[in-house]
Structure 1
């Protein structure tokens, strides 16, 4: 089993109603690839974000939930190193073909990834 086969074999199946209605390549990539990889990497994303927030914001753990979410949003918008690390955590779980597509469309995909990561992590803070 090669790396690509291993990655695809170990991804969770994402159930989407009417998958044939998704026609745009970016939407297909988002729904079938990114959502599965985000699900697999959920614990890693959460841990990286909470570790970053605890190290960079005093008394983060004592903050109210809404304040934690605002700090996360601020960090994801302004800290390029954090975003790059999070994107890398996702890119490392893409097959060769998916990585090629990601690199060709990185700007748009990174916008979508930022939103997905924010939503996923903020719901778990």
Structure 2
């Protein structure tokens, strides 16, 4: 294992969630790789989404919670440039072996990544309400 890979694994922290012999490769990847990265990068995701709404949704802070949640979902699902930037923030913390797993099943892993990120941002929607005061 290279110095970079060792550093990244230590930097990200422990597996979040259970991984058993019955876990699929995708489930293992999600709990061993994606969840720790999403947790580590959370503040960056919040800042990135705040910047996104500042540039694209000037009236976002006046929206209802339901509308804000819809904007979060829509931004990540439909805005390809924004989604690719978010994917880059996650993939930058893959080891080479993890990247090899990712490229074998990138479509399903991308869906998991974005779904988990949407849920993470939606669960923190109150952080986007604080700015309107």
What does residue 5 of structure 1 align with?
6
* Segments ≥4 residues shifted beyond 4 Å: none
Number of residues of Structure 1 aligned to a counterpart in Structure 2? 124
What does residue 75 of structure 1 align with?
75
1:60 offset after TM fit, Å?
A: 1.0
Give unmatched runs, 5+ long, in structure 1.
none
Distance 1:32 1:7 in 2: 12
What does residue 17 of structure 2 align with?
16
TM-score, scaled relative to structure 1: 0.91
Q: Show CA shifts across 1:48-79 (max 9, x none).
A: 11211221112112222211111111111211
Q: Is the 8 A contact 2:16 2:36 kept in 1?
A: no
Aligned CA distance change for structure 1 residues 63 and 31 (closer, same or farther; 3 Å): same
Give unmatched runs, 5+ long, in structure 2.
126-133
Higher relative contact order (CA 8 A, sep 6+): 1
1:90 offset after TM fit, Å?
A: 0.2
1:15 offset after TM fit, Å?
A: 4.5
Q: How does 1:32-71 map to 2 (within 5 A)?
A: 32-71=32-71
Q: Is the 8 A contact 2:46 2:121 kept in 1?
A: yes
